[in-house]
Amino acid sequence: MRRILKTLVAIFGIVVLDQIAKGILLFLITGSAFVWGPAWSVIPVPYLMRHVTNFFNIVFTWNPGTAFSLFRSLGDNAPLVMIIATGIIIGLLLYYLITRAKSYERVPLIMIIGGAFGNFIDRLRFGAVIDFLDFHIGGIHWPSFNIADIFITVGVLIYILNWWLTRRRCLKNLKG
C-alpha cells in the first residue's frame, strides 16, 4: 500500500509540474491561469511569446494530435479520439505499474503516466495540448513540446534502456 501511495504522489508531482508551467504561460498571455473551454477561441495559434536564445524560443501552440503533432489530420474528431485513447492508455499503464511492474520498470512508467496525464488534463480542458518549448537551428524547428512530453520521452527511453540492459544480463547469465 505504501508503494502505491508513493507511486501516486510521484505521478501527481509530474502532473503538477506540467500544469504549473502551462498555467504560468496561460497567465502571461491571458491574465488568467484558469482558462477553460475551446482553446482556439481564447488564444490565437501560434502565439510567439519570447525569443530566448539563437536556438530556443518559448511559443504558444495548440496541438490537437499526439507527440510531434502526429494525428492532427483527424479533424473535428481529434479531441474526442485523443481523450478516449489517452484515458485507456493511462489506465492500462497504471494497472500494469501497480500490479505487475518489475522494479526497473517503475520509474520510467511513473514518468510516462505522469506526462500522459498532464496532457490528458489539457485535452479535457481545451480539446488540445498546450506546447511551448521550441528548439531550432536557423529556420529549421523541432516540433514544439511541453514538460509532459519531456517526461514521456525520457520515461520511454529509460524503459527501453532498462529492458535492453536486463535482457543483455539475462542472456549473459544463460551463456555462462
Query: Which residue among the candidates 18, 122, 131, 134 is catalytic per the annotation?
Result: 131
* Catalytic (active site) residue 122: no
Query: Which residue among the candidates 18, 122, 134, 149 is catalytic per the annotation?
Result: 149
Q: Are strands 129-137 and 140-141 parallel, antiparallel or unpaired?
A: antiparallel
Residue type, 19: Q
Question: What gap in Å lies between CA 95 and CA 12, rounded to an integer?
Answer: 16
Give the helix ranges, DSSP H, for the chain: 2-30, 39-42, 78-99, 103-126, 147-175
Grid coordinates of 34: 484558469
* Catalytic (active site) residue 131: yes
For the annotated catalytic residues, the residue numbers are 131, 149
